[in-house]
Amino acid sequence: PAAPDCTKQDVFCVGLVTDVGKIDDKSFNQSAWEGVQKAKEDGIATVVQYIETTDSKDYDKNISTFGDAGYDVIVTVGFALGEATDAAAAKYPNVKFIGVDQFQAEDVPGVAGLNFPEDQAGFLVGALAAMMSKSHKIGSVLGTDAVPPVWRFGEGYRAGAAYADQEMGTTTEVFVVYHNDVGFDKTFVDPEWGAATANSMIDQGADVIFGAGGKTGNGAVTAAAQRGVYAIGVDTDQYYTLPEAAPRMLSSAMKLITPGVYDLIKMAKEGSFPSGNYFGQAGYAPYHDLENEVPAEVKAKMDEIAAGLLDGSITTNVPPVKP
């Protein structure tokens, strides 16, 4: 099966290069890829392909594999590919690059850094958690804080809880644990650690657990559901991606990667491709099964906070990068 020739004008090809890690990570690699696939389903893209990076030294090689094949849009997932992407943009001037989680210090023509206000998402679920906790102890299990989005989630969560406390006049103890004690290869794919940590928090009295950080977070979320406390997911609405936790899934802190990627591909096709930073949306997922466990005033408060964050009347005071 000879692949259609992407160099042709009428063939619109989209390639995706993962960070070191797999495309089926149920997290950002996968969400990004789903955005790409959606573009194909909607007939925007003719050909879509991905390449998984097995070693950081292959970033350039993998990107150029698409570049040389004449792809029109190349999605590079993860902050780690930032420089490789910028370099490639210089090498392939008429290719559009979408850099997921790549904060653009200065604009590079042809590169759109797709970023998200994770701190806001974290802030929302943090507030929710604080308001829903009976023991006034809540926990959060995250991947390494060396990754800014993760750090923003965690600190946002803290800030959100604090905000809720001052609103509600409560004092909530917040456990925030980053999985820093292993290498990069492991920190996002250590569900057992996530589970053990969540359990430990629950033993300590926490009754809401927010898991953020690939599979590690998933481990915490499912463990929480296991122990019957509230679980909060991350990135996508994990009510769907973690069915086993669904019954106790209170909400998810969402960064809408899939639509973000999709929109940028669309713009590229239509010739309205932006360069510099492009901010996707963040939000919190519906309560689903727990709809009627969440008191009306809490729901109201959440809407209020969401609105406040949007119009800037509420700020998380979380810097984009760990100081």
Partner 1 sequence: MESNEEQEARRESSFQKRLKSAGSAMLVPVLAVLTAMLVGAVVILMAGGNPLYAYLGLFQGAFGSAKAWSETAVWATPYIFAGLAVALAFKGGLFNIGAEGQLALGAVVAAWIGYALPDMLEISLPAIIHLPLAIILGVLAGALWAAIPGALKAYTGGHEVINTIMMNYIALNMVSFLLNGPMKDKNPNNVIARTPEIAESARIPVIFEGFRIHWGFVLALIVAAIVWWLLWKTTLGFEIRTVGANPDAAKYAGINVKRTIILTMAMSGLLAGMAGAIEVSGLNYRHELGFSIGYGFDAIAIALLGKTHPLGVVLASILFAGMRNGGTRMQFLTQIPVDVISVIQALILLFVAADAIIRYIYRVRAREERLVLTRGWGG
Partner 2 sequence: MDWRRFSVIALVIIILFSVVVLIGKTKDTPIVIITSLLATTIAVATPLTLGALSGIFCERSGVVNIGIEGMMLAAAFFGWLAAIYMNTIFKIAPLPSLIAGVVAAILTGGLFALLHAMLSITYKVDQIIGGTVINILAVGITGFMNRQLFFEKGSIFGGQVPHAPGVLPRIQIPFLADIPVMGRIFDQQPLTIAAILLVIVSHYVLFHTRWGLRTRAVGEHPRAADAVGINVIFMRYANVIIGGFLAGLGGAYFTLESVPSFEPLLTNGRGFIALAAMIFGNWSPFGAWAAALVFGASQAFQIKLQLFREVIPAQWAFLQNAYIVGLAPYILTMLILTGIIGKTTPPAADGVPYEK
According to the binding rule CB under 8 A, does residue 7 interact with partner 1? no
Q: Smallest gap, in angstroms, from Cβ of residue 277 to partner 1?
A: 11
Q: Contact, 111 vs 147, CB < 8 A?
A: no
DSSP 3-state assignment of 234? strand
Minimum gap (Å) between residue 43 Cβ and partner 1: 20
- The verdict on 196 binding partner 2 (CB under 8 A) reads yes
Q: Does 182 bind partner 2 (CB under 8 A)?
A: yes
Contacting partner 1 within 43-82 (CB under 8 A): 49-52, 54-58, 61-62, 65-66, 69, 79-80
Question: What's the rounded Cα separation, in Å, for the pair 288 and 217?
Answer: 20
Return d(Cα 299, Cα 145) in angstroms, integer.
30
| By CB under 8 A, residue 313 contacts partner 1 | no
Stretch that binds partner 2, among 79-87, 94-102, 117-125, 196-204 (CB under 8 A): 196-204
Nearer to partner 1, 52 or 263 (CB): 52
CB of 23 to partner 2, least distance (A): 7
| C-beta of residue 103 within 8 angstroms of C-beta of residue 113 | yes
Nearer residue to partner 1 within complex by CB, 142 or 209? 142
Give CA–CA dist 283/233, Å, rounded: 12
Query: x-or-dash pattern for partner 1, window 133-172, by CB under 8 A?
Result: -----------x-xxx------------------------
Q: Which residues contact 253 (CB under 8 A, 6 or more apart)?
A: 118, 121, 122, 124, 125, 153, 156, 157, 210, 212, 232, 233, 234, 235, 282, 284
Residue 301 in 3-state DSSP? helix
Residue of 186, 288, 299, 322 interacting with partner 2 (CB under 8 A): 186
Q: How many CB atoms lie within 10 A of CB 2?
A: 4
Among 123, 163, 178, 262, binds partner 2 (CB under 8 A): 178
Residues 7 to 36: which contact partner 2 by CB under 8 A? 22-24, 26
Residues 285-304 within binding reach of partner 2 (CB under 8 A): none
Angle at 25 between CA 109 and CA 113, to 5 degrees: 15
Q: Which is nearer to partner 1, 21 or 160 (CB)?
A: 21
Secondary structure of residue 112 in the 3-state scheme: strand
Indicate the residue among 50 and 278 with the shorter CB distance to partner 1: 50
Interface with partner 2: number of residues (CB under 8 A): 37
Unique residue bearing structure tokens 């998200």: 116
CA 66/CA 22 separation, integer angstroms: 18
Answer yes or no: are the C-beta atoms of 231 and 248 closer than 8 Å: yes
Instruction: Give the count of alpha carbons within 13 A of 69, CB side only.
Output: 24
Site for partner 1 in 163-222 (CB under 8 A): 180-185
Chain contacts with partner 1 (rule: CB under 8 A): 1, 3, 20, 49-52, 54-58, 61-62, 65-66, 69, 79-80, 103, 105, 144, 146-148, 180-185, 321
Chain contacts with partner 2 (rule: CB under 8 A): 22-24, 26, 173, 175, 177-182, 186, 189-197, 199-201, 203-205, 215, 218-219, 222-223, 226, 241, 243-244
